[in-house]
Amino acid sequence: MFKVGDLIVYGNTGVCRVEEIGIPALAGAAEDKKYYTLSPYYGRNSRIYTPCDNDKVVMRPVITKQEARDLIGKIKSIGLLEITDEKKREETYKSVMRGCDCMEFISIIKTIYLRKQERIAEGKKVTANDEKYFNMAEDKLYGELAIALEIDKNKVKDYIASEVAD
């Protein structure tokens, strides 16, 4: 169980701070269940109320600084997504995003980046879905890495580039 003040990853929302734990005064909230009151770390001025035992949405601690450094050190060796059926491409992207796994975010970023380069070389446009999921994966990955590495989210891409340069 998380505690008040913890930074966690909550599904597609990304990094959130646990603001409260208890029974919220909300219509429809079960009175015999404890809820987390979460505040998204980036952007939105909102609150999320979710049962502490919610097993439908990924809730996990933000990775540590050492885990972030190790992950960045492995970027070159992280494989691409295996997508054999073009009709299932978006389904695969969605599945990766739901998993909230940083290594999988890197896989999706690498896969889409290479696909974009191939399409451009062939004189084709980048697909809207590729662009959408590429941006989502970068946003979630960079948001979590920024917290772990204690740097500005806008500087994460350059930090990664400097760390993986030959």
pLDDT of residue 32: 82
**CA dist list (Å): 71 to 78, 98, 115, 149:** 9, 19, 23, 12
pLDDT in tens, 101-119: 999 999 999 999 999 999 9
Residue of higher predicted confidence among 129 and 43: 129
pLDDT averaged over every residue in the chain:
93
DSSP string, 4-34: TT-EEEEGGGEEEEEEEEE----TT--TTS-
pLDDT of residue 166: 62
Q: Using pLDDT thresholds of 50, 70 and 90, give the confidence band for residue 146.
A: very high
Structure-token pair, residue 9? 């990853």
Q: Using pLDDT thresholds of 50, 70 and 90, give the confidence band for residue 26.
A: confident
Alpha carbon distance 89, 141 (integer Å): 20
| Neighbouring C-beta atoms of residue 62, cutoff 10 Å | 21
For residue 51, the cross-strand partners are 35
